[in-house]
Amino acid sequence: MGPERRRRRPAISCILCRRRKIRCNRGTPCSNCAKSKSAACVYRDAPPQPQLQGPSADPTSPEAPSLTPSTSGASSTIPIPTHSSLPTTTSSTAVSVDGQPPVSHVRPSKSQTSSLAEQQRSPPIPAPAATSTFTKTSRVDTTTVDFAGKVYFHHEHRLPGQPEAVTRSVTHKRRLFGQSHWVNAIGLLPDLFEAFEHVMRDKASKASELEKRCKALGRVIKARRAPAWPCPPTPELPARAVADALVECYLRTSEALLRVLHIPAFTREYEAIWDVNSAAPDPAFLVQLKLVLAIGASNYDPAFSLRPWAIRSVYEAQTWISAPEFKSLLGIPSLQTSVLLLLARDATGIGEDMVWASAGTTLRMAMYLGLHRDPAGIGPRATTPLLVEMRRRLWNTTLEIALQSSMDSGGPPLITVADFDTEPPGNFDDEQLMCPPGDEPPTPKPANHFTQTTAAIALRSMFPQRLAIARYLNDLASRGTYAATLAHDADLRAATKTLNRRLHACRDPAAGGPPPALCLRALDLLVRRYFLSLHLPFFAPALTEAAFAYSRKVAVESALRIGRTVCAAPPPGAEPAIEDGTSRELDGLLARRATSGLGLLRTAAVQGFVVIGVELTTLLREEEGLGLGVGVGGGGPELRPDLLAALEDFSAWTWRGLEAGETNTKGYLVTHTVVAQVEAMRRGLGKEDLARYVMQAVEEGVERCLGLLEGIVAAGEGDTPGSVGMETGGPAVEVGVEDWPYMMPDSLFDTAGGEFSNWFSDGALL
């Protein structure tokens, strides 16, 4: 008998490297083939499909990924048109494994190589064309674009003969974002960003040099605003008239949707602050009050004139809450402060893109306090109506922040409806909960009676459907088939219609009058943001594939509605927002919050802007392709005026953001460039003339930004807390904390007909 034949190891190098007997890094193409400029970098064997572990790997689960891509109409592998596809590689192609940051080389161990040989049973897969980004050694294909640093778009493993998959995640600056993050929208405008980056990288370009000066000025402004760390709380408050206006702004906007405070109790302590005969105020209440004022400051005036003072207030609260006395801070007041701090960071743009991480701490603090268990089941500790309702309200708000931060950050929500049994808040006005001990507990008002808690109850009624969408977009196990997208759309639509009917019943004057228009518009904006994020992954395929036309319709109509709510210019003579205790121009408060702060409103607006820009450029290309002619003298059909107006509004809105204190100019420059590109296409300019037109627009935009920032620096913005007058509300509070850096990352930057025009609009419900 001859010697035992050794089992042959699988070939893991490309064919050319194997033939030349040189080491292969197994890239696509590998480094050797890239150096030799060979287009024949082909691998003989295909890697095995990855095996998922855990409950999500159950093939019967609706969210379980399919290891063999389906060829049905509900497949998650969707064709993307050339002109609006994911950006092609501009500098390098990286390999990513399971959505992790790209790596250039992975060397398997002997045991892993043996496992590969044993698992490899499928026939070899033909090599793709040289221009494809198909990566045979990973689950995802990766393309890159140079915009604000490398942005890596990961889309699922694709087999030859099947359409390309939609983007599933994005890696940028060492962070991984799911589909709900606004950065995914960058992939819809590859041509624009390529041209924009070309101008910025051109050393001879005037725009490039001016943009560097803008960045330097932005750093100066941000440094002036940031106080020293740690920043102990102080009793310094705005003048009484200004403070009253800020409290009113907060109560009419943030508190109307996200219940944190018991307003009568808060008002009583607030009045005592200004009473010279009262005792020294509680330092913990002063911290809460300054956070309330900081949130209100983002709505106070279009220029956000109190931004430096609001930023300091947030720093003080962060210092206070970072104290090492953990157990003493474990209580309802401390949880209220934690929630207000998250809302204030979002409103002032301080570490807003890290709120998702901090929200996890707040959620667990609430669980430590037992807020995830309904008060009816935790014994005698929660017996008074006030305490019962405050626990339910705070848990409701904590859930909402966890969900919204998940959507903003593109991170998984990390909570399910099975993790709590707390009932929604009751339909009470706050005064009802002031009953003395021993009295008959109050009865919730009927569902058709609008109270101070009705809007929060409305959010909770749609929580399961919205949570399912966040998990569908951002969870690792989700594969996002179109059938699943339509199912989530139907669920949210049904929940919205049910809520719509409930709010419509509140219009009866006998039941307290109609709901405030501001609450209705805020709810409308929030719902449309979920529809937009849900359908955005299929928006690009919908531009050429009729099977996804519904996603195109939903995305465009949602984007238009968001633009009208967030980006419309406020009417003249609308400042200050509150005068003599009476609300003025409430419709502009949402727009001011979107202009001054970040978070939900701004990310929704960015997504909407991209959809409108892509829709307009697509329509122009379609007209040109049909030979209809575009431009002033072309005689072709006119574009939708609402789309053009929305695009102009988006550009003007980003400029107002700079005027309100935003220091990152790229948001304005990109929107300004898109407007110029659309205008050039409407004029029918050729490729070279269009490029010159866009380059000129970029240079003009940078010059305008530079002039604005130079004026802010010259005026000394950030050196003082504002010209509103400051008063002392109590003794200074010193808090000792460990010296750790406070993170201030760079800031990001009614159509006629159809059912979308009716939801929550102007109080005119279905």
Q: pLDDT tens digits for 66-94?
A: 323 333 333 333 333 333 333 333 333 33
Token reading at 227: 């106080």
DSSP state string for 640-691: PHHHHHHHHHHHHHHHHHHHTT----HHHHHHHHHHHHHHHHHTT--HHHHH
Name which of 329-343, 344-358, 436-450, 590-604 the model is least confident about. Answer: 590-604
Within this chain, do residues 710 and 640 fall inside the same structural domain, yes or no? yes
140, 200, 594 from 195: Cα distances, Å: 27, 9, 28
- Is 556 within a domain? yes
Give the pLDDT mean for 158-163. Answer: 44
Cα gap 343→739, rounded to integer Å: 24
- The closest alpha carbon to 422, from 458, 377, 475, 380, belongs to 377
**What digits encode the pLDDT tens for the residues 109-155?**
433 333 333 333 333 333 333 233 334 444 555 666 665 567 777 77
Token reading at 653: 């809105």
Q: Is the dihedral of CA 333, 337, 339, 343 positive or negative?
A: positive
- Is 680 within a domain? yes
**In 536-659, alpha helices (H):** 539-542, 549-566, 587-596, 600-625, 641-659
Token reading at 224: 């002036």
Displacement of CA 688 from its chain's centroid (Å): 36
Cα gap 648→654, rounded to integer Å: 10
Q: By CB neighbour count within 10 A (0-12 exposed, 13-18 middle, 19+ buried), where does 318 fall?
A: buried
Within this chain, do residues 472 and 601 fall inside the same structural domain, yes or no? no
- What are φ and ψ of residue 168, in 5° steps? -110, -25
Cα gap 294→108, rounded to integer Å: 53
Q: What is the pLDDT of residue 359?
A: 93
Residue 395 pLDDT level (bands cut at 50, 70, 90): very high
- Nearest 5°: the CA angle 754, 757, 763 is 145
Within this chain, do residues 169 and 213 fall inside the same structural domain, yes or no? no
Token reading at 112: 């892993």
Within this chain, do residues 415 and 386 fall inside the same structural domain, yes or no? yes
75, 226, 327, 699 from 479: Cα distances, Å: 9, 42, 42, 42
Cα gap 735→758, rounded to integer Å: 51
DSSP state of 157: -
Within this chain, do residues 543 and 665 fall inside the same structural domain, yes or no? yes
- % of the chain surpassing 70 pLDDT: 67
Cα gap 136→97, rounded to integer Å: 11
* Residue in the block written with tokens 């599933």: 168
- Is 728 within a domain? no
Return all residues near 90 (Cβ < 8 A) that are at least 6 apart: 144, 145, 146, 194, 197
DSSP state string for 485-517: HHHHHHHHHHHHHHHHHHHHHTT-GGGT-PPPH
Residue 312 pLDDT level (bands cut at 50, 70, 90): very high
**What digits encode the pLDDT tens for the residues 522-555?**
898 899 999 999 999 889 888 888 889 999 999 9
- Is 602 within a domain? yes
Q: By CB neighbour count within 10 A (0-12 exposed, 13-18 middle, 19+ buried), where does 724 fall?
A: middle
Within this chain, do residues 132 and 210 fall inside the same structural domain, yes or no? no
Return all residues near 638 (Cβ < 8 A) that are at least 6 apart: none
pLDDT exceeds 70 at position 476: yes
Q: What is the pLDDT of residue 217?
A: 94
Give me the count of residues in the chain.
766
Name which of 161-165, 444-448, 537-541, 754-758 the model is least confident about. Answer: 754-758
**What digits encode the pLDDT tens for the residues 644-674?**
999 999 999 899 889 888 888 988 998 998 9
- H or E element: which one contains 236? strand 236-238
Mean of pLDDT over the chain: 74
> What SS3 state is found at 103?
strand
- The closest alpha carbon to 374, from 388, 360, 361, 394, belongs to 388
**What digits encode the pLDDT tens for the residues 266-300?**
999 999 999 888 788 888 999 999 999 999 998 88
> 263, 336 in Cβ contact below 8 A?
no
- Is 357 within a domain? no
Please tell me which of 301-310, 348-357, 713-722 the model is most confident about, judged by mean pLDDT: 301-310
Instruction: Please count the structural domains in the chain.
Output: 5
Token reading at 575: 């400042």
Q: What is the pLDDT of residue 95?
A: 31
pLDDT exceeds 80 at position 437: no
160, 168, 203 from 541: Cα distances, Å: 18, 14, 36
Return all residues near 2 (Cβ < 8 A) that are at least 6 apart: none
Within this chain, do residues 161 and 203 fall inside the same structural domain, yes or no? no
- Is 708 within a domain? yes
The model scores a pTM over 0.85: no
Within this chain, do residues 167 and 198 fall inside the same structural domain, yes or no? no
Cα gap 678→614, rounded to integer Å: 10
> 432, 442 in Cβ contact below 8 A?
yes
pLDDT exceeds 60 at position 184: yes
Within this chain, do residues 215 and 321 fall inside the same structural domain, yes or no? no
pLDDT exceeds 90 at position 242: yes
Q: By CB neighbour count within 10 A (0-12 exposed, 13-18 middle, 19+ buried), where does 554 fall?
A: buried
- Nearest 5°: the CA angle 239, 244, 247 is 120
Within this chain, do residues 552 and 670 fall inside the same structural domain, yes or no? yes
> What SS3 state is found at 155?
strand
Displacement of CA 632 from its chain's centroid (Å): 37
Q: Which domain holds residue 153?
A: 78-107+116-177
Name which of 241-250, 468-477, 579-588 the model is least confident about. Answer: 579-588
**What is the number of helices (H) and of strands (E) in the chain?**
24, 8
Residue 180 pLDDT level (bands cut at 50, 70, 90): confident
pLDDT exceeds 60 at position 755: no
- Is 533 within a domain? no
> 751, 560 in Cβ contact below 8 A?
yes
Cα gap 530→107, rounded to integer Å: 41
End-to-end alpha carbon distance in the chain: 86
pLDDT exceeds 50 at position 578: no
Within this chain, do residues 581 and 677 fall inside the same structural domain, yes or no? yes
Cα gap 235→284, rounded to integer Å: 11
Written as one letter, the residue type at 220 is: V
- Is 397 within a domain? yes
Within this chain, do residues 434 and 477 fall inside the same structural domain, yes or no? yes
Token reading at 292: 């309330």
